[in-house]
Structure formats: structure tokens, C-alpha cells
Homo-oligomer: A and B are copies of this chain.
Amino acid sequence: MSVYVVGHKNPDSDSVCAAIALADLKTKLGVETIPVAQGELNPESAFILGKFGVVAPAVMTSGAGKKVMLVDHSDLSQSLDDLADAKIIGIVDHHKLGDVTTPNPLEAWIWPVGCTCTVVKAMYDYFGVEIPRNIAGIMLCAILSDTVIFKSATCTDKDKEVAEALAKIAGESDLQALGMEMFKVKSAVDGTPTRDLVFRDFKDFNMNGNKVGIGQLEVVDLAILDGVKADLEKEIQVVKSEGRHSVFLLLTDIMKEGSEMLVVSDDGAIVEKAFGKATENGKVWLDGVMSRKKQVVPNLEKAFAS
């Protein structure tokens, strides 16, 4: 019986690349393992797989009756809707420990690093399996993406060390250039429906009983978003109306190293509680804030709990 490796909803490059790499490793260790994704690839992920000639994973949205390994998440709200009907045999992740539980013992590798692919590289090393050149390339790109070319607060020395090792295997010498090439693809918004932009990298969280959606768009220059910002502000109102207490959309400028956050919430004071700074016209600039996981989610969770 095959094992399926699946990342979170609205798959980002780490979810996709970690699933592909982990499936490669597990298959080489003797367990037939297939990478899948919960949705279509975003432009950045498509660029990465295209660049290194790696086949895209199939879309799979049901795990019923299947053996699954989760990558890049351990929250039920981010996982397969029918996860309860699947058998979870493993988790490889780099986030906080979520509310997924299992009835049986499992294999979990969860490290406080910047990217799931950093953990998967350690697993390759532990099991003494060689990483193919093209898989090393996509793992490297996932690290550059998740750590915003090593600039994010989530980036650790381990991520840098692993990226250097993967770059050697992949034959990539200029990581800054590779990262910028990728982020330019990621920055492109022309022709993309507004709703797709909001959901490009969007996660729902349960914060003290409230459904809270947090999206992020990373661009090389905030000016790129000038033409669509008004539409984004309207769209997150709609997204909020679909059963959410709050929606936060981070517009992250990776060069200026900060984020403008668009906010709609039932609690007008939540942003000031979480970040010590109030919104003006539903917006606030958060200097130095680039990481949803490390700089936004914990603050909001604390604010919602208080």
C-alpha cells in the first residue's frame, strides 16, 4: 500500500518540494511513497520545478483509506479535510506543534528551523541516502523561499549550512541571484485574479475559538502592488464574511524588510494588542516583520488569548 506525502492547503514551495524530496527518500528506503499537493502549484513553485525539470505532484484532496505523511504542517485546519479517515504514519515539519493527533505511533521529525526541506536534508543524511541533483535544486529553492533568501527571522544557521550543501549538489553558485530570480516570479501579480492573490499563501488558524485567516504576499518592491491594493482590501472583506473572525493580509517587501498588513477584524483593537501599533484605514506598517510564523502568529495568538 503506497504512502502519500502531502503538505498544507494552498501549497507553497516548501510544501511541494518537501513532499517530493521526502517521497524520493522514503521510496529509496524501500517504502513506495508518492508526493501529492492539496491544490495547484503557485507561480513560484511552478518556476522552481520547471527550472530543475522535476515533475509536479498530483493534486489530492482526500486521504480516506490512505497512509499519509504530513509535511510543513501539523494543524488540522491546514490538512486534508478527511484526515480522520487517513492513517497518519509520519510528520516532517518546522512549525509549532498543531492539533493533529494519531491513534498509533508515528515517525515525526520536527525542527525549529526555517524550512521543512532543511529537516528532509537531515533525514537524507541520517539514512545515508544520496540526494539527486534536481531534488537538491528544488530543496535549495524552498529554503531560499521560506527564509526569504536567509533574511527572515525564522532562518537559522542550520538552514544556511544545509542550503550551502544543497547548492553544491545542485551546481548552483549564486544563491542571491537564484533567490531574486524566484522572488521576481513570486512578485508577479499582473493578470492574477484578486482572490487568487489573497489565497496564494493563506492559512487559517484557530485562535482561542476564533477562525483567523492570515495571508502573505512577498514582493521585491511594495510598489508592485499599488495597482491591486484597493481590490485586495475589498477581497479580504469577502474572505472574512465567509465565517472568519479576522483576516490579515501581509504585503511583505523583502528588500525593505517589513510588511504592510491589511486588516479586517471583529475586534478593532486586536492589532494594537498584538503589535503595539494601531491600524489606520485598515492598514499598518510593521517594520522588520517578514515571518508570519515567527512574528505574526505568536503575537496574534497571545492577543486573542488575553
Contacts and interface: CB of A to CB of B under 8 A. Distances in A.
A302 B9 CA distance: 28
Contact of A95 (B91, B105, B109, B302): B105
Nearest to A104: B96
Interface of A: 88-89, 91, 94-113, 122, 126, 154, 293-294, 298, 301-302
Contacts of A112: 89, 104-107
B103 A111 contact: no
Contacts of A126: 122, 126
Tally of this chain's copies: 2
A298 to B, nearest CB: 5
Given A122-B126, A126-B122, A126-B126, A94 B103 contact: no
Nearest to A92: B108
A118 B227 CA distance: 57
A102 B112 CA distance: 12
A302 B104 CA distance: 11
A103 B107 contact: no
A96 B101 contact: yes
B94 A105 contact: yes
A101 B99 contact: yes
A107 B110 contact: yes
Contacts of A122: 126
A93 B106 CA distance: 10
A97 B109 CA distance: 12
Contacts of A294: 105
Contacts of A100: 97
Contacts of A95: 105
A113 to B, nearest CB: 8
